[in-house]
Amino acid sequence: MRLARRVLPPAILLLVLFGAWELYVDLGGVDRLVLPAPRDVARSLFEDRSLLLSNLLVTAKEVLLGGVLAVVLGFGLAVAIQFSRTLRAAVYPLLIGSQAVPVVVIAPVLLIWLGFGLAPKLVVIALVSFFPVVVTTLAGFAAVDQDLMKLMRTFDATRLRSFWHVELPATMPRVFTGAKIAVAVAVIGAVFAEWTGSSAGLGYLLNQSIPQLLPARAMASVAILCVFAIALFGLLSLAERVAVPWAYQPRGEISP
């Protein structure tokens, strides 16, 4: 019943949207090369399945590696900034500035520096997705109850032990929030990196399908990317519930 309530509304909404789209293409006399009907996309999903799958594997590898790189980098930077006021003053403005640099400009340069392989993709993905991890992790550190830190000091805890026993676990839910934002951005980053220069991946397939006049296949690639991003997000949510269950526990009291 609860599952039905969660699954039914989006399913019905999608059906209605696809139905309207299908009707519009069929009855509106739209050129199928301009806008393929959902039926055409579904056919492409089936007929091109091995092509889509092999390219998905390439993109998935990039997103996973790049995502891990982004989380490790973002989390590490946040911890370093938390420990050093000087570092915070020096690095934080640069981090914010780094987000204003258009990836459109960076990506071709990376291509020259690092070639067409995996490396430039990972750099682009990490560049666009580490920032939400830094920001959410730092917000987590800032939200740690200062009275708790005082308490730890009266217990003679060193800075490192206070971090290990209090700040780090208290911040974990925020790190997961950052990671969830990061994976969504990482997918966009991967497609863009492939778009700039690559020989495989869903972004590459997307880029090839338009000039080949295969808009249905392009849309099928996008559909796969969407499902992949949702799946990653779902996996992270699941991991979050396993790793930090206390953040979700309802406050149920028993009698004294």
Stretch that binds other proteins, among 77-85, 92-100, 125-133, 164-172 (CB under 8 A): 164-172
Smallest distance, other proteins to C-beta of residue 144, A: 11
Show contacts with other proteins in window 119-148 (CB under 8 A).
145, 147-148
Question: Between 177 and 221, whose beta carbon lies closer to other proteins?
Answer: 177
CA-based torsion, 45, 46, 47, 50: positive or negative: positive
Whose CA is closest to 220, among 14, 35, 40, 45? 45
Does 256 interact with other proteins (rule: CB under 8 A)?
A: yes
Q: What is the DSSP string of 86-136?
A: HHHHHHHHHHHHHTTS-HHHHHHHHHHHH-SSHHHHHHHHHHHHHHHHHHH
Stretch that binds other proteins, among 21-29, 217-225, 231-239, 245-253 (CB under 8 A): 245-253
Question: Between 32 and 159, whose beta carbon lies closer to other proteins?
Answer: 159
Does 241 interact with other proteins (rule: CB under 8 A)?
A: no
Question: Between 166 and 200, whose beta carbon lies closer to other proteins?
Answer: 166
Name 198's Cβ contacts closer than 8 Å, sequence gap at least 6: 116, 121, 204
Whose CA is closest to 206, among 31, 51, 26? 51
CA gap 99, 29 in Å, rounded: 44
Does 251 interact with other proteins (rule: CB under 8 A)?
A: yes
Does 159 interact with other proteins (rule: CB under 8 A)?
A: no
Please say whether the beta carbons of 166 and 153 come within 8 A: no
Question: Between 46 and 155, whose beta carbon lies closer to other proteins?
Answer: 155
Taking CA atoms, 248 is separated from 1, 172, 178, in Å, by 21, 13, 17
Helix (H, G, I), strand (E, B) or coil at 34: coil
Q: According to CB under 8 A, which one of 170, 202, 231, 240 is a site residue for other proteins?
A: 170
Question: Between 47 and 145, whose beta carbon lies closer to other proteins?
Answer: 145
111 C-beta neighbours (distance < 10 Å), count: 16
The helix or strand, by DSSP H or E, that contains position 179, with its residue range, turns out to be helix 168-196
CA gap 28, 94 in Å, rounded: 51
Question: Between 24 and 155, whose beta carbon lies closer to other proteins?
Answer: 155
Show contacts with other proteins in window 41-70 (CB under 8 A).
none
- Torsion angle of alpha carbons 28, 34, 40, 44, nearest 10°? 180
Does 190 interact with other proteins (rule: CB under 8 A)?
A: no
Question: Between 171 and 196, whose beta carbon lies closer to other proteins?
Answer: 171
Show the tokens assigned to 61. Answer: 């590898």
Does 162 interact with other proteins (rule: CB under 8 A)?
A: yes
Q: According to CB under 8 A, which one of 169, 184, 200, 223 is a site residue for other proteins?
A: 169
Q: According to CB under 8 A, which one of 6, 32, 161, 241 is a site residue for other proteins?
A: 161
Does 250 interact with other proteins (rule: CB under 8 A)?
A: yes
Residues that bind other proteins (CB under 8 A): 145, 147-148, 150-157, 161-162, 165-166, 169-170, 244, 246-247, 249-256
